[in-house]
Amino acid sequence: MTSNSSSDAFVAFERVQKSYDGEILVVKDLNLHIGKGEFLTMLGPSGSGKTTCLMMLAGFETATHGDILLGGKPINNIPPHKRGIGMVFQNYALFPHMTVGENLSFPLEVRKIGKSERERMVKDALDMVQMGDFAGRRPAQLSGGQQQRIALARALVFKPELVLMDEPLGALDKQLREHMQYEIKHLHESLGITVVYVTHDQSEALTMSDRVAVFEDGRIQQLAAPDDLYERPENAFVAQFIGENNTLRGKITAQNGPLVSVDVEGGLQVQALAVNCGGVGEQTTLSLRPERVSLNGDGPNSTSARVLELIYLGDHIRCRLEVSGDDQFIVKVPNGAGQKHLVVGEITPISWQSEDCRALDF
């Protein structure tokens, strides 16, 4: 489903730049190709330009530079209502003066679809989101989750091939959000539509997407499948932003094959996988996932650490350790029978595989 060349991409951003005020670029040189049927998520901190990209695709903002292509054709000069893109807004934007049924019927009316056909399509769309009995209600008479479903149904009722969603679940509570994630994912698979999804919730991005584009400061920092993103981050920002991460800083002293030796500040010597670092003598950031650290002392990278804090989380115990002067080193210990029982203040050996420690940009 992933496509990387512009020729077979369904949606393509080609060297797109955007500035609102003529001084600051909020989107800098964006290149992004989205395949047909793909579920692509734009993930990033607040103000990183995600909504701006979505609005350019929908036609509500114009790109300052570059081309946006839909189905191989540039759409820069096509007004929003002719693009045929479904859209779900963060606050749903259901028309308050129309009933649910009228809301859904609206896109069909403007497409001049006959009455009986229209009623059938509205009913199908409502059934699809399990809201068949709510056609006569006003949006104000629905709960947040129900409004969300109606907004989804309205964006899908006219059968667009591309659907954009800007933080559609942002206003829901955690449980409902997880449930809706599953439903959206399910609809995406059964309808075969292309979805561009914006969120700043990383677990949402990881569970739903085929690929995730991590935005920061108007640039895509990494574009990859969720597992790649988590296990093989390409730079320090992505490693830090996705999941929990231990960061060590140091200087490269030697390189042998895929590995580098790094002198960590505080006197520790470790081996790490060279991913995105300079040559010998350069500074680097080491990234190490907390669950990849084990509490025994063998292997190439082992050291001793002092236990500072233990937090009981049911399925695992989160330990904060002091390692080589860094007192924010986190280790996750599974809550199992064979595991060692730590005590605050104790000195414990720790170790990890060289491949799990990634040397990234500084």
Partner 1 sequence: MSDSSPVIAADGRPLKASLNRALRRQKIRALLLIAPLLLFVLVTFIAPIADMLFRSVENDIVSNTLPRTVVALDDWDAGSGETPDEMIFAALAADLAEAVAAKRHTQLGTRLNYELSGMSSLFRKTGRQVKKLDMDAPFREQFLEIEEDWADPEIWITIKANSSKYTAGYFLNAVDLQNGPDGIEARPENQRIYVKLFGRTIFLSISITLSCFLLGYPIAFLLANLKARTSNILMILVLLPFWTSLLVRTSAWKVLLQQQGVINDVLVWIGLVADDNRLELINNQTGTIIAMTHILLPFMILPLYSVMKTIPITYVRAAKSLGATNWTTFWRVYFPQSVPGIGAGSILVFILAIGYYITPALVGGTSGTFISNRIAYHISSSLNWGLGAALGAILLALVLVLYGLYDKIVGIDNVKLG
Which residues form the interface with Mg ion (CB under 5 A)?
Answer: 51
Q: Does 51 bind ligand ATP (CB under 6 A)?
A: yes
One residue of 10, 38, 49, 333 binding ligand ATP per CB under 6 A = 49
Stretch that binds ligand ATP, among 45-53, 258-266, 275-283, 345-353 (CB under 6 A): 45-53
The conformational region for residue 218 under phi > 0 = left, psi -120 to 50 = alpha, else beta, is left
Contact 330, 320 (CB under 8 A): yes
The item of partner 1, Mg ion, ligand ATP, none sharing an interface with residue 40, based on CB under 5 to 8 Å by kind, is none
Q: Residue 362's CB: how many other CB atoms inside 10 A?
A: 15
Beta strands in 281-354 (DSSP E): 283-288, 301-312, 316-323, 326-334, 347-352
Contact track, ligand ATP, 135-174, x by CB under 6 A: ----------------------------------------
Q: Which is nearer to partner 1, 107 or 290 (CB)?
A: 107
Residue 330, strand partner residues: 320
Q: Which is nearer to partner 1, 166 or 216 (CB)?
A: 166
Q: Does 47 bind ligand ATP (CB under 6 A)?
A: yes
The item of partner 1, Mg ion, ligand ATP, none sharing an interface with residue 65, based on CB under 5 to 8 Å by kind, is none
Q: Does 52 bind ligand ATP (CB under 6 A)?
A: yes
The item of Mg ion, ligand ATP, partner 1, none sharing an interface with residue 111, based on CB under 5 to 8 Å by kind, is partner 1
Give the type of residue at 52: T
Query: Which residue's C-beta sits nearest to ligand ATP?
Result: 51
Q: How far is the CB of 124 from partner 1 (least distance, A)?
A: 17
Q: Which is nearer to ligand ATP, 50 or 177 (CB)?
A: 50
| Range 339-345, long-range pairs (CB < 8 A, 24+ positions) | 339/295, 340/295, 342/295, 342/307, 342/310, 342/317, 343/307, 344/307, 344/308, 344/309, 344/310, 345/306, 345/307
Enumerate binding residues for partner 1 (CB under 8 A). 58-60, 79-87, 89, 91, 93-97, 106-107, 110-111, 154-155, 158, 164
Contact 291, 246 (CB under 8 A): no
Cβ-in-10-Å burial (0-12, 13-18, 19+) of 309 comes to: exposed
The item of Mg ion, partner 1, ligand ATP, none sharing an interface with residue 52, based on CB under 5 to 8 Å by kind, is ligand ATP
The item of partner 1, ligand ATP, Mg ion, none sharing an interface with residue 199, based on CB under 5 to 8 Å by kind, is none
Count the site residues for ligand ATP by CB under 6 A.
Answer: 11
One residue of 33, 50, 211, 358 binding ligand ATP per CB under 6 A = 50
Q: Which is nearer to Mg ion, 148 or 245 (CB)?
A: 148
The rounded distance, in Å, linking the Cα atoms of 165 and 148 is: 11
Q: How far is the CB of 47 from ligand ATP (least distance, A)?
A: 4
Q: Which is nearer to partner 1, 159 or 186 (CB)?
A: 159
Contact 151, 91 (CB under 8 A): no
The rounded distance, in Å, linking the Cα atoms of 337 and 73 is: 60
Query: Per-residue DSSP letters for 46-112?
Result: TTSSHHHHHHHHHTSS--SEEEEEETTEE-TTS-GGGS-EEEE-TT----TTS-HHHHHHHHHHTTT
Q: Which is nearer to partner 1, 112 or 341 (CB)?
A: 112
Q: Does 26 bind ligand ATP (CB under 6 A)?
A: yes
Alpha helices in the chain (DSSP H): 50-58, 100-109, 115-128, 144-156, 174-191, 202-208, 226-231, 236-241
Binding site for ligand ATP (CB under 6 A): 20, 26, 44, 46-52, 200
